[in-house]
Structure 1
């Protein structure tokens, strides 16, 4: 009788833990949407003036959108804004709306180290930002090699090389696009410890195989933009398209109401653009 009680107790205990385990397993699959408080739907300005080496750089675009609630799958585009860029010589470049939230200029004139100022008027607010057009050294070589990987097949590593100027402090930003990546992958580089030397930038991915194509854009950027991007990459694990846990302020200033700040960054970059097919 005693042995029977012990057996029954053990059976009930096992049954109880089994039910708890199943309940825990099922609860892991449950999608829980928190009732998040919606903050101000701030203006977001994606203003990158890109001058690719070997091109005129006359066609440029600026995107203006608005923050959306966390669970929204739609990014609201902002129409009806007045957008222009003025250089330090007083030349004005007007950006006209070519599609909802997309503003285009076809006669832009890029000049290395010239200062440019962005003006945006939207929702009764005046927004401004100022930056210089930063140069980038040419890419001298690109190659690939195999790197041993103890967890699986050897990895293919694609590397490009460029000579950093010795007479100045430089900052760089590179993005990699490919059909193996859900989003572009970004890396930032400073010449703090390699000033004047040859710098190499490396990219690898477990899905990088022969025949895959890498679309590489390498930029010269300002120190302020370098610091801004490092903050974003740090909190989003190198994916600037991920959701940051807070609003990281850029260089856009609201001169109408400083408390109603916009998000985004106005930057001007000379770039190297490479399409590389993995061998």
Structure 2
């Protein structure tokens, strides 16, 4: 019996010692790049003068250091009038202006000068239709027991419109996004629905009475529609019917060194926002 106890203690001691070994895991790294968060969104019915742009750098996966970009030069130009809007460095990675004048059917150019590199991007602001109705039912989704929220609007008669929808509840960690174009709905009344399925792994619950859903509808350019269509596919994960993850490039071009492109996107949109409480 004593020999058995000694043998057990010996194995236990070896196990404890082996648990102290440090295992080095090689993590794939990539080039550190500028990350541009430049969404100039004009809420319909407001002046849209106050806008902000955030700049940071990408980091390795386990790096938690502050990556805010300070000291960059940031400006946006109205390509029609030539008016320039300077964005002031707030010394925390955010650059702001209170003088922006949004106009529909106008293209704007973003210029960033940072670390000896010049980045430019362009996008066009389009008018957004009014949201005419928001309601709920359980008839049109994949599950007739799950509540869907519907957003109704009238698409403009001109072809080429694209839209981005953002849905967010207070309890959701991340919003849900949806993009559509008017290739098959041009000039018609459009009814867009939003539905959430229960997901125990992500602790996500379906829409329930009392839930408050913040809904934002953006009118977006076709290039941004194409970009977000890919991004939304990537956000859905990889499955048998899912897209394969790819390096999604935005529209921020480095004119100093094309290989040192930036992540992110410069967009200018007009938007409508509504809040709906599920019954």
Task: Give TM-score, length-normalised by structure 2.
Answer: 0.81
Cα distance 1:274–1:104, how it changes in 2: closer, same or farther (>3 A)?
A: same
Give unmatched runs, 5+ long, in structure 2: 1-22, 199-204, 238-243
The equivalent of 1:185 in structure 2 is: 176
Partner of residue 134 from structure 1, selected from 126, 131, 135: 126
The aligned runs of 1:70-219 (5 Å cut-off) are 70-73=61-64, 76-88=67-79, 89-147=81-139, 154-205=145-196, 206=198, 207=205, 208-219=207-218
What whole-Å deviation, never above 9, does each CA across 1:127-176 have from its counterpart, x for those lacking one? 1011111211110111111349998x921111010001122211111111
Deviation at 1:75, TM superposition (A): 6.1
Cα distance 1:193–1:150, how it changes in 2: closer, same or farther (>3 A)?
A: closer
RMSD of Structure 2 on Structure 1 (CA): 2.2
What whole-Å deviation, never above 9, does each CA across 1:110-134 have from its counterpart, x for those lacking one? 0001111101011111110111112
How many residues align structurally? 242
Deviation at 1:78, TM superposition (A): 1.0
The equivalent of 1:21 in structure 2 is: none
Give unmatched runs, 5+ long, in structure 1: 1-31, 239-243
Q: Is the 8 A contact 1:68 1:75 kept in 2?
A: no
Q: Is the 8 A contact 1:68 1:76 kept in 2?
A: yes
Cα distance 1:187–1:148, how it changes in 2: closer, same or farther (>3 A)?
A: closer
The equivalent of 1:14 in structure 2 is: none
1-structure distance, mates of 2:99, 2:42: 13
